[in-house]
Structure 1
Amino acid sequence: MSKLVEINFDGIIGPSHNYAGLSRGNIASSKNAGETAFPREAALQGLAKMRHNIDLGLTQGFFMPLDRPNTDWLASLGADIASADPHVRAAGYSASSMWAANAATVSPAPDSVDGKCHLTVANLRTMPHRSHEWPGTLAQLRLTFADDRHFAVHEPVPAAFGDEGAANHMRLCSGHEAPGLEIFVYGESGGPFPARQHLEASKAVGRLHQLDPAQVIYTQQSNTAIAAGAFHNDVVAVANGPVLFAHEQAFEQPDELYSEISEKFPEAEIVTVPADKVSLADAITSYLFNAQLVTLPDDGGMALVLPTEARDNAAVWRYLEELVAGNGPIRKLCPVDVRQSMANGGGPACLRLRVVADPTTVDDRFMATPDKLVAMAAVIKKNWPESIRPAQLRDAKLAEQIQSARLALLELCDLSELVSSE
């Protein structure tokens, strides 16, 4: 009998990681535009987070960086890395697939009518630098979850409707292997910033995944939160098991949402962070909610795997220490250093896609072990650029280094199919 567990698939931070400030509405991305990025350090930080989670007893997987620069995409615009306008060139180099929370939306087998785990790759149509990710991501998902007895991998929702994947999706359940309540969070207006998740995209995913409509909720993200820089729901809310951990200003109609949750899933524990204890601005800049809320296998308690920025924010850390000292479900704080990702607008939760599955049904080449992570770190130390400035993106030699670095990692992991599939 198969055993379903939560597997966190982290995106390995690619060798083209740079700060071009391409993500409108993402405060960190805009703030650090033009700064020098450190791809080697970034990727090693990501591997260290994976090792940390394995040490907690969690099951860990990974996805490979995509081929960058995306010369086919540039060619479709009549350009190459030398001739493209700077913002288009930067979009072609973007390493944003590292944020695997935007790779797809995932519905575990216990939630679907056909008893399969469904994954729909996100179209990411709102931002040009991310809109060309999905073919490479789809190739990886089809390879990772190739066993069609257990998985159904869907192409993206048509691009008229923006879909940004699991970053706007939550699931409440008594246990990962039990049927759950799936919550899709969409946006309507963000003031000066675009709302990236469309209601029609969320509804389409729910239908594709064959979900019971009685066990689905569609709710609107707060306009205030989007305008403040919460470009995805996972910047202001996170769920795990029966627990929803959210900022007071996360949702447009919180009372209605919480009432519907209580009606459809009475076991839910809703932990709401008051704005007078943690302001929306502090929540967003510290990425308090972009933590991995996880169930620890040793005692069944819950922990928050947080960016160190949350610890560095006095108001946020004071609240968190009070939280874990109480009798609530969250009992442990685990800060991790992902500063290179944070500086481009993505915390620990952005870096991972949660998939509930039996690990033996997943392609083992995408499963992490301590020894494999050590070998991957050696390849990254040898091949990833130490630093990249946006002005360097015109350099053909840098493009060659980035491509050869990725190929070295694919070779190590015996994933040469990804070269031909792209």
Structure 2
Amino acid sequence: MSRETDPSVCEVNFDGLVGPTHNYSGLAHGNVASMSHEGLVANPREAALQGLEKMKSLMDAGYAQGVLPPQQRPDLGALRALGFTGDDARVLSRAAAEAPQLLRAVCSASTMWTANAATVTPSVDAADGRVHFTPANLQSSFHRYLEPATTGRVLGAMFRDERCFAHHPVLPATPAFADEGAANHTRLAGEHGEPGVHLYVYGRQAFGGDGVEPRRFPARQTLEASQAVARQHGLSEAQTVFAQQHPEAIDAGVFHNDVIAVGNGPVLLYHEYAFRDEQGTLEALRAKMATPLIPVRVPVEAVSLDDAVASYLFNSQLLSNPDGTMTLVVPGECQEREAVWRCLQDHLLAGNNPITEVVVKDVKQSMRNGGGPACLRLRVALSAAERAAVSGRVLLDDALHGELTAWVRRHYRDRLAPADLSDPALAHETLAALDELTGILELGSVYPFQR
């Protein structure tokens, strides 16, 4: 049963800190940007500072902002489990020589895209009045499959008060329950403190279905995974809508729903090819939402699928303002595509909808690996009491931003090529950085090397 409206609830965007091993290995099949930038030299320091600048600017604009730490990389434990033996240097050199694709995978900094970290249900929608978390199993790709155990420890350390927060186990890591987290989940409501409706978007059905699926790239989310998460969180049929992502969009490089649609409050900004059954999805939302849905549709004539994927227009942050308007935070690539920029000015800002401001952010280091502003954050709606119950020092303020900026400048390299991943010094640098970071964030021992 849904809770009463709580006016103290606000959305906190927990952005992922880009890790010291940020590189371009082209690991994500179906992610066009990641595949096309494979082998380029990355700048981990610049990437982390770009992310911190985005966090700081949104905090300064009045939006609640939090921080999620990167994970331990390279994951030498994973390499040892796969048969590589010896000291760290030996394990790295053997992996580089015998299985370079595995070395690239265990060095991935993909945890910076925290939209994939988990699915979250706010307390206002939960029968027990607690915020619910389920870490995503990310079983579709090996480099991301390595994340959930640490993700669960981090979320447990941050949201540890059992009176306010509930944590659920990761779904079974099998293709039938492939779960990519909040990147395929949108909550719609009048305001954050009002009871909402949860839109779960999937690419395929594991059991049954009519077999209409993408042919070029894999569908990463299953209906069965989305249904299981909704059950874990105690959501009823009246609170949920399940919609299939358009197969043509997935084949164009839309590997997650948040690359083709973004929702906030009662607004759903989406591309014509976001959903296989566009009208059915909208009708289901309208039937279950207490506040009228405000759909903002972008037709393919205005923005092609190719332009949508290249610009990440829909992987933008849609943020609520106190006066009822909304701000759209877009990546700089949106300015580089004439059709996209024209759509933003003539279709969105000039349209009859609450979006009144577009803010451009440079997150190019992340974008080259296929992650825009929306990929970099996990949205958690929290009441005032729940914000006070958050453990650690993870809610951003000026002092924390300054310390994290200085930490990045001390520990991060300004150049990292895939060939550098076998350098044992990089592994040692990363462990030293993360050990210091857990002290700054006051999270305790969340990494394998600390346990």
What TM-score do you get using the length of structure 1 for normalisation?
0.97
Within 5 Å, which residues of 2 pair with 1:21-100?
A: 21-79=26-84, 80-84=91-95, 85-100=99-114
Pairing partner for 1:3 from 2, 8, 28: 8
Q: Distance in 2 between matches of 1:86 and 1:25?
A: 20
Which residue of 2 is the match for residue 164 of structure 1? 180
Pairing partner for 1:404 from 425, 428, 432: 432
The answer to whether the 8 A contact 2:262-2:315 is kept is: yes
Q: Distance in 2 between matches of 1:52 and 1:364?
A: 22
Q: What is the RMSD of the two structures over their aligned residues, measured on CA atoms?
A: 1.3
Paired residue type of 2:158: T
The answer to whether the 8 A contact 2:180-2:220 is kept is: yes
Paired residue type of 1:375: E
Within 5 Å, which residues of 2 pair with 1:86-125?
A: 86-125=100-139
- State the aligned residue count: 421
Which residue of 1 is the match for residue 423 of structure 2? 395
Paired residue type of 2:92: I
Within 5 Å, which residues of 2 pair with 1:326-345?
A: 326-345=351-370
Which residue of 1 is the match for residue 282 of structure 2? 258
Cα offset for 1:364? 4.3
SS in 1 for 2:446: helix
Which residue of 2 is the match for residue 230 of structure 1? 254
Q: Distance in 2 between matches of 1:34 and 1:410?
A: 31
Pairing partner for 1:318 from 318, 327, 342: 342
Paired residue type of 1:335: V
Paired residue type of 1:360: A
Pairing partner for 2:193 from 160, 177, 184: 177
Which residue of 1 is the match for residue 227 of structure 2? 203
Cα offset for 1:402? 2.1
Q: Distance in 2 between matches of 1:150 and 1:308?
A: 38
The answer to whether the 8 A contact 1:13-1:42 is kept is: yes
SS in 2 for 1:238: strand
Paired residue type of 1:190: P
Cα offset for 1:416? 3.7
Deviation per CA, 1:205-251: give whole Å up to 9, x if none: 00000012111011100000000000000000000000000000011
Pairing partner for 1:376 from 396, 404, 407: 404
SS in 1 for 2:429: helix
Cα offset for 1:192? 1.7
Q: Distance in 1 between matches of 2:313 and 2:217?
A: 21
Within 5 Å, which residues of 2 pair with 1:241-252?
A: 241-252=265-276
Residues 1:290 and 2:315 aligned together: yes
Unaligned runs of 5+ in 1: none
Q: Distance in 2 between matches of 1:55 and 1:372?
A: 13
SS in 2 for 1:191: coil
Deviation per CA, 1:273-320: give whole Å up to 9, x if none: 0100111110111000000001023x2310101101112211101110
Q: Distance in 1 between matches of 2:153 and 2:13?
A: 18
The answer to whether the 8 A contact 2:23-2:417 is kept is: yes
Cα offset for 1:76? 0.9
The answer to whether the 8 A contact 1:111-1:212 is kept is: no
Tell me which stretches of 4 or more aligned residues in structure 1 moved more than 3 Å.
419-422
Deviation per CA, 1:317-356: give whole Å up to 9, x if none: 1110112123311110011010000001100000000001
Paired residue type of 1:83: R
Cα offset for 1:415? 3.0
Cα offset for 1:5? 1.1
The answer to whether the 8 A contact 2:158-2:443 is kept is: no
Paired residue type of 2:53: A
Q: Distance in 1 between matches of 2:418 and 2:445?
A: 30
Q: Distance in 1 between matches of 2:441 and 2:190?
A: 35
Choose 15-24 or 146-155, whichever is displaced more. 146-155
Q: Distance in 1 between matches of 2:35 and 2:170?
A: 27
Q: Distance in 2 between matches of 1:416 and 1:257?
A: 43
Cα offset for 1:397? 1.3
The answer to whether the 8 A contact 2:68-2:394 is kept is: yes
